[in-house]
């Protein structure tokens, strides 16, 4: 089923990937990054293990995107378990490496620990991390030096690139929130702290995203809210994301995955479901589509193809997302 909802118009696309567990995984990921970059996404985001567990390899992947492609990298950063000094040092390290786009997250305490048992860090919420990133950047010199190629010792001085900070949003509520309004309040706090865009947790029905955006707009959220769409291509992946999000099982998708009689058939179900979602949210006014790629370019590119969405040639999410 391939019908472009916005024939003629283009759709800003972005992707999320994660750092591999070991350096041996990097070459395959770099091939995937090349294939994703070829469809000219607005940005490619790289996850960050809460507590800083993937710090070095996340930065390796981000700097690879920065230097090997013309797509801007966007760094996820979490603050749970970090002191102010540690969070400050990580932000500074990423800025020094040339990263200027961030997804500011609180992150979760280590699995199996309760929030009462462990040091949760000096920063209590993603909104505070948004503020800290802004402060760290403001304290840096307001200019950047760029070496002039072919002229030894010469440097060109230009304005330092502006930092752009996005945050997470939860259309079906965060597992920790006590009532639906709390997630909108949290998003308002992140916007007030300086966030310029939000990316949502995955959801299974377009109405969940569209209803959330309506509620957020009524409450005063004005920043673009990008729908995060995950192709669910196996029953196992569906189980794992339900554990993570606490959402009720999407009956039709679960049944279709169970009824599919081969991995190829399950993959086709997941791609068709994600493509339908992408088309529907775009038709409902979503400013773009953010795809969880799981370090595999073939599936998300198949989603785009099946959704019939044309991608854009520009790289500024903050221009297009609004």
Please give the residues from 256 up to 285 whose contact with ligand FAD meets the rule CB under 6 A. Answer: none
CA–CA distance, 266 with 255 (Å, rounded to integer): 11
User: Exactly one of 177, 234, 296, 311 binds ligand FAD (CB under 6 A); which one?
Assistant: 177
Is 308 a binder of ligand FAD (CB under 6 A)? no
**Please, which residues bridge with residue 76 across strands?**
103
CA torsion sign, 147 to 88 to 101 to 99?
positive
Q: Which of 4, 5, 10, 108 binds ligand FAD (CB under 6 A)?
A: 108
Quote the least distance from Cβ 76 to ligand FAD, whole Å: 3
**Smallest distance, ligand FAD to C-beta of residue 209, A:** 12
- For the CB of residue 194, give the shortest distance to ligand FAD in the complex, in Å: 14
Tell me how far apart the alpha carbons of residues 94 and 85 are, in angstroms, rounded to a whole number. 14
**Residue 306, interface with ligand FAD (CB under 6 A)?**
no
If one asks whether residue 303 binds ligand FAD (CB under 6 A), the answer comes out as no
Length of the chain: 322
Q: Which is nearer to ligand FAD, 4 or 88 (CB)?
A: 88
Residue 64: CB minimum distance to ligand FAD, A: 17
- For 262, list phi and psi in degrees, rounded to 5: -155, 160
- Distances in Å between the Cα of 55 and the Cα atoms of 12, 133, 198, 245 are 28, 16, 22, 24
Q: What binding mask, one character per residue, do residues 131-170 give for ligand FAD by CB under 6 A, x or -?
A: -------------------------------------x-x
Residue 295 as a binder of ligand FAD (CB under 6 A): the answer is: no
| 48 part of the interface to ligand FAD, by CB under 6 A | yes
Distance CA 148, CA 146 (A): 6
Measure the CA–CA gap between 275 and 229, rounded to whole angstroms: 9
Q: Is 182 in the site for ligand FAD (CB under 6 A)?
A: yes
Active site residue 16: yes
Applying CB under 6 A, among 42, 78, 82, 172 the residue interacting with ligand FAD is: 78
| Pairwise CA distance, residues 218 & 185, whole Å | 12
For residue 284, with 0-12 CB atoms within 10 Å meaning exposed, 13-18 middle and 19 or more buried, which class applies?
Answer: middle
| Residue 289 binds ligand FAD (CB under 6 A) | no
Nearer to ligand FAD, 119 or 155 (CB): 119
DSSP for 232-295, please give it.
--SHHHHHHHHHHH-PPP-HHHHHHHHH--SHHHHHHHHHHHHHHHHHHHHHTT-S-EEEE-TT
Confirm or reject binding of residue 203 to ligand FAD (CB under 6 A): no
For ligand FAD, how many residues bind (rule: CB under 6 A)? 23
Cβ–Cβ < 8 Å for 19, 52: no
- Position among 11, 14, 69, 201 found at the interface with ligand FAD (CB under 6 A): 201
Residues annotated as catalytic (active site), given as ranges: 16
Where does this chain bind ligand FAD (CB under 6 A)?
47-48, 50, 76, 78, 103, 105-108, 125-126, 168, 170, 174, 176-177, 182-183, 186, 199, 201, 228
């Amino acid at each position: 089923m391939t019908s472009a909802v916005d024939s003629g118009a283009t759709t800003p696309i972005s992707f999320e990937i994660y750092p591999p567990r070991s350096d041996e995984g990097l070459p395959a990921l770099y091939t995937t990054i090349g294939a994703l970059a070829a469809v000219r996404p607005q940005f490619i985001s790289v996850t960050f293990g809460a507590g800083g567990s993937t710090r070095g390899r996340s930065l390796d992947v981000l700097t690879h995107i920065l230097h090997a492609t013309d797509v801007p990298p966007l760094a996820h950063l979490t603050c749970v378990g970090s002191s102010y000094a540690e969070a400050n040092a990580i932000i500074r390290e990423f800025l020094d490496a040339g990263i200027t786009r961030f997804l500011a997250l609180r992150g979760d305490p280590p699995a199996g620990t309760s929030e009462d048992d462990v040091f949760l860090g000096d920063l209590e919420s993603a909104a505070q991390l948004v503020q800290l990133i802004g402060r760290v950047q403001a304290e840096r010199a307001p200019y950047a030096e760029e070496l002039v190629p072919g002229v030894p010792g010469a440097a060109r001085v230009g304005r330092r690139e502006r930092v752009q900070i996005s945050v997470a949003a939860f259309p079906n509520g965060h597992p920790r929130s006590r009532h639906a309004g709390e997630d909108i309040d949290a998003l308002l706090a992140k916007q007030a702290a300086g966030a310029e865009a939000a990316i949502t947790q995955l959801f299974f029905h377009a109405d969940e995203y569209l209803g959330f955006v309506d509620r957020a707009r009524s409450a005063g959220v004005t920043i673009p809210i990008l729908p995060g769409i995950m192709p669910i291509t196996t029953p196992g992946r569906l189980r794992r994301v339900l554990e993570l999000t606490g959402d009720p099982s999407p009956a039709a998708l679960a049944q279709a995955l169970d009824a599919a009689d081969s991995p190829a058939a399950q993959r086709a179900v997941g791609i068709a479901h994600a493509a339908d979602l992408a088309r529907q949210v775009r038709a409902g006014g979503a400013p773009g589509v953010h795809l969880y790629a799981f370090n595999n370019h073939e599936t998300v590119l198949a989603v785009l193809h099946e959704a019939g969405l044309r991608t854009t040639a520009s790289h500024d999410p903050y221009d297009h997302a609004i």
